[in-house]
Amino acid sequence: MSEQPDNGPAGAVFRVEKLYLKDLSFESPSAPEVFRGKAQPQAEVNLGVKNRKIGDEHWEVSLTVTATLKADDKVVFIVEVEQAGLFLLRNIPQEHLAAVLSVECPTVLFPFTRQVICQAVVDGGFVPFLLDPVNFLAMFQNAKQAKKAQQEETSH
């Protein structure tokens, strides 16, 4: 019989309660002509992370990705996904909460978001479209630095 370690009331808890798809949209406005094209497509990917508190210890965190593929100035496809999760965050120190919500939670969501996008693109008749890995820590640190620089600029 295995025993769970007793972290006591101060033990931090980070647990995924539920993962779910909130929104999915796929468009291929240039089909079927686009299937005959030979041009090298260019991809543009935009990511967003948002969160909201649900009760005392639960947070909903969502990762939104919009990927647009163009060839010869024509849109090949646009796929938009909002993947979300309900996370239990207990006894997380306040100074670490923003990093958990902006780095740890989206890191959990990303592989699922990537798979949904890939499958939608394949179902749309295209070769798999795989998102490159994302460094959510770097995104978080860059956003913090940009916010700090903006605050310093407005205070002068």
Q: Is the pLDDT of residue 9 over 60?
A: no
Q: Identify the pLDDT of residue 152.
A: 76
Q: Identify the pLDDT of residue 8.
A: 39
Which amino acid type is present at position 44?
E
46-49, long-range: CB < 8 A, 24+ apart? 47/134, 47/139, 49/101, 49/102, 49/105, 49/106, 49/136, 49/139
Six token digits for residue 91: 């006894």
Average pLDDT value for residue range 79-85:
98
Residue whose C-alpha is closest to residue 98's, from 53, 36, 133: 53
pTM: 0.85
Determine contact, residues 69/129, Cβ cutoff 8 Å: yes
Q: Identify the pLDDT of residue 156.
A: 64
pLDDT digits (tens, 9 = 90+) for 98-154: 999 999 999 999 999 999 999 999 999 999 999 999 999 999 999 888 888 887 777
Q: Is the pLDDT of residue 1 over 70?
A: no
More confident residue, 35 or 1: 35
Q: Is the pLDDT of residue 72 over 60?
A: yes
Q: Is the pLDDT of residue 10 over 70?
A: no
Q: Is the pLDDT of residue 155 over 60?
A: yes
Q: Which domains does the chain have, with CATH numbers?
A: 21-139 (3.10.420.10)
Helix (H) or strand (E) segment spanning residue 153: helix 136-155
